[in-house]
Amino acid sequence: MGRTRIKKFVFGAAIIVILVIGAWQLTKTFTSAEPLSEAEATSKAEELYKGKVVNVKNKSRAYEVTMELESGTYIVEMDRDTGEIGRVSRIKEKAAKEEEQETPQQPSENTKDSPGKKPAKQEPKPQEETPAQTVTFITKEEAAQIAIKTINGEVDDMEDIETEELGGVTYYLVDVEREEAEDGTVRINAITGEVTGVFYDD
């Protein structure tokens, strides 16, 4: 029984020693960590707040980082050992941009109303009438020449050339007589002179 108690005592003491040594090692590790430098504090502040660092003050346990952001100027307290952010305070609010006010135009001397006189009425200018556009047709003679070039033949009488309206467009119908082939009728646009159809007699 005595030996068993001694073994238990020795085993318990060994565990205590191991725990003490482990705690000492952890404490040494944390206490031996190097504090943040000013450059590291500046870089971390700019990364966190997306602003511009204008000044860094080194205090006993923290840095006071002065930053310019879009909304104003701030002081950020940062722990030197852990890099944790403490208090953030705004020391200056960014002034709002003054809107430019348009200066009303002063009336010129010519447009100022004389005392006791009514302003002269400006009568509207009469609108100039736009001359109506006239449509020029090709002549029957020109239509006959186009028809003869389209199908070889002759046009006996210019008076026999007729006109017709299709879809609001005027066409010439030119009859062409041919000796060795069937007679034909050529339809020609009366404005452009374009041949739009050729029809032969049955």
Q: Total structural domains in the chain?
A: 2
Among 59, 93, 127, the domain boundary falls at 93
Within a domain: 27: no
Taking only the tens of pLDDT, the chain with its 202 residues reads 556 666 666 666 677 867 767 666 666 555 555 788 889 989 988 888 888 999 999 888 899 999 898 878 989 899 988 888 888 888 888 765 444 444 455 555 554 555 555 556 666 666 665 555 566 899 999 999 999 999 989 998 888 899 999 888 899 999 999 888 889 999 999 999 999 999 987 6
Residue 169 domain boundaries? 140-200
Amino acid occupying residue 12: G
Distance CA(19)–CA(59), nearest Å, equals 36
Please tell me the pTM assigned to this model.
0.36
Q: Is 63 exposed, middle or buried (0-12, 13-18, 19+ CB in 10 A)?
A: buried
Within a domain: 118: no
> Could you tell me if 64 and 74 are in contact, meaning their C-beta atoms sit under 8 angstroms apart?
no
Within a domain: 147: yes
Give me 159's structure tokens: 């008076």
Distance CA(87)–CA(127), nearest Å, equals 75
